[in-house]
Structure 1
Amino acid sequence: MANNPYASSISNLLYAQVCTRPNIAFVMGMLGRYQSTPGMDRWKAAKKVMRYLKGTKDYMLMYGQMDVLEVVGNSDSDFASCVDSRKSTSRYIFMMASGAISWRSSKQTLTATSTTKVEFVACFKATSHGVWLKSFISGLRIVDSIARPLKIYYDNSAAVQLAKNYRSGS
């Protein structure tokens, strides 16, 4: 990586994203796909992310005091957002006590044929992670309980209907 300043820059930006900056997860997923052949456009985009982080260096993750703890997730996707493979990108973020506790942005492994399918896959992955996350937090025994059911928000009404009628194995 020492011979590839783009790859080194992306690694540094990824560190910031993983530790404290969920708001750059999507763009980092896009920039990370081109480490061997970045090109000038991606260099400019990486520098723009660096300028953004410099301008928002005082932003931080904040957590509030809550009477009842609950894990709340938000899921979204971009249909066929990868221009090379036409694969979609899924992303989710989970909040607890008004602060982000887990997030991810990743390219889907399948090539979907509709926005409904893309949103369903994104929500399914988010839900799977949310169930694990809730169990993990409870297992830490640093909080008495997480009383409420897991909530996942997503914005595709057809995917909501598909999820309500989904039967595993059918």
Structure 2
Amino acid sequence: MATLDNMFALKDLGKLNYFLGTQVQYLEHGFILNQSKYVDDMLQRICFSDLKSTASPNNLGKNLSINDGVPLTDPFLYRSTIGALQYITNTRLNITYMVNHISQFLKASTDAHWQATKRVLRYISGTKNYGLLFQPSHSLEVSAYSDVDWAANIDDRKLVVAYCVFVGGNLVSWSSKKQTAVARSSTESEYRALAHTTSEIIWL
């Protein structure tokens, strides 16, 4: 810091506590990143501050279709809410799959898609203090987990590949993305998931 100060005009603002919607909570060994204030601000902006919380972000076993429900007369709220939820996935990988799913109906959103979105909002309202824990580690070992939802999309039967990658026990990368191709079997879909995960590991 002192060396940089000799060359550039710097101001020490102390420890980072809040930046671009992300809060830093310091622990004795490590820190937690979460977006609880961002969640509160978003819920207040769309007048959903008093939502009743739910235990999961989606109804298990129910996949949405583009033909579900009645088209929204004003889709702006749906689209802006999805955008905010996508930003929250920066620290909340447990909603990534569902946010990816409801993001596929931005072009022609319906009341059924909005109900699914409200369930995600109910979930994060009750778990807004959840976040990412980072702790010091002597190991730089890379480990990863992958999964696939075969033929998940009712409309085109394309699969969704998801993975998360850890370095030294700390989560550093994750993804949940619908693929461009249709897998002919569950085995093929699993191999696709492994290929995407391996590519990410090699890049890291």
What is the Cα deviation at residue 54 of structure 1? 1.2
Q: Secondary structure at the match of 1:9?
A: helix
Given that 1:63 and 1:97 are in contact with CA atoms closer than 8 Å, whether structure 2 keeps it comes out as no
Per the alignment, residue 104 of structure 1 pairs with: 175
Q: In angstroms, what is the RMSD of aligned CA positions? A: 1.4
2: CA distance between counterparts of 1:39 and 1:99?
Answer: 38
Name structure 2 gaps, 5 residues minimum.
1-73
Query: Number of aligned pairs?
Result: 131
Q: Secondary structure at the match of 1:113?
A: coil
Q: Secondary structure at the match of 2:81?
A: helix
Normalising by structure 1, report the TM-score.
0.73
Per the alignment, residue 42 of structure 1 pairs with: 113
1: CA distance between counterparts of 2:75 and 2:184?
Answer: 40
What is the Cα deviation at residue 86 of structure 1? 0.5
Per the alignment, residue 134 of structure 2 pairs with: 63
Name structure 1 gaps, 5 residues minimum.
134-170
What is the Cα deviation at residue 60 of structure 1? 1.4
Asked if residue 6 in structure 1 is aligned to residue 67 in structure 2, the reply is no
Asked if residue 28 in structure 1 is aligned to residue 67 in structure 2, the reply is no
Normalising by structure 2, report the TM-score.
0.61
Instruction: Give the structure with the larger helix fraction.
Output: 1
Residues 15-60 of structure 1 show CA distances to partners (whole Å, capped at 9, x for unaligned) of 001x211111110110000012121111011111111111111111
Runs in 1 of length 4+ with deviation above 3 angstroms? none
Asked if residue 132 in structure 1 is aligned to residue 200 in structure 2, the reply is no
2: CA distance between counterparts of 1:129 and 1:106?
Answer: 14
Identity %: 35
Q: Which has the larger radius of gyration?
A: 2
Instruction: Give the structure with the larger strand fraction.
Output: 2
Given that 2:138 and 2:168 are in contact with CA atoms closer than 8 Å, whether structure 1 keeps it comes out as no
